[in-house]
Amino acid sequence: MRITSTHFLLGLSLSAALLAGCAAMSGAPAKVSDGILTGPNGMSLYTFDRDTAGSGKSVCNGPCAANWPPLMAGDMDKGSGDYSVITRDDGKKQWAFKGKPLYYWVKDAKPGDRTGDGVNKVWQLARP
C-alpha cells in the first residue's frame, strides 16, 4: 500500500490531536483516603454549603479564599467523570467534584488533619 502525503498529514494531525487531549487529561485531581477526598499533597479537601452544585461558580472569594484555598486547576486541565473545572471570579481555574468546588482549610497542618469539618456549620469534608 502506498501512503500519500494526504494520508500522512491526516495521520499526523490525528496524532497531534490525540497527544494534546492526553496532555489535558492529567488524571483525577484528588484521591480517596480514609473515606474522604484529599488533594495531591495528601491534605483533606472540603466543600462549602453556600456553593451551588453545577453552577460553575465559587462563592468563596477574597478573605474566604485566604482561609479556604481552592484546589487549583491548570489552564489546560479538563474535567472527567465526577470532576469538573470551574472559573473563579479572578479568572483562575478550580477543581470541583460532582459540581461542588473543592477547597483546603488553612488550619489543617498535615495530611490526615480534618479540622475544617463543620466550621460555621457550612464547611464539610469532601466525600466520594
The residues spanned by each domain of the chain are: 28-125
CA distances from 30 to 2, 21, 24, 95, 126 (A): 47, 20, 16, 9, 10
Contact residues for 106 (Cβ-Cβ < 8 A; gap 6+):
66, 67, 68, 69
> For position 14, what pLDDT does the model report?
37
Mean pLDDT, consecutive 10-residue segments, the chain of 128 residues?
Answer: 47 38 62 97 99 98 98 96 97 98 99 99 98
Report field, pTM of the whole predicted structure over 0.85: no
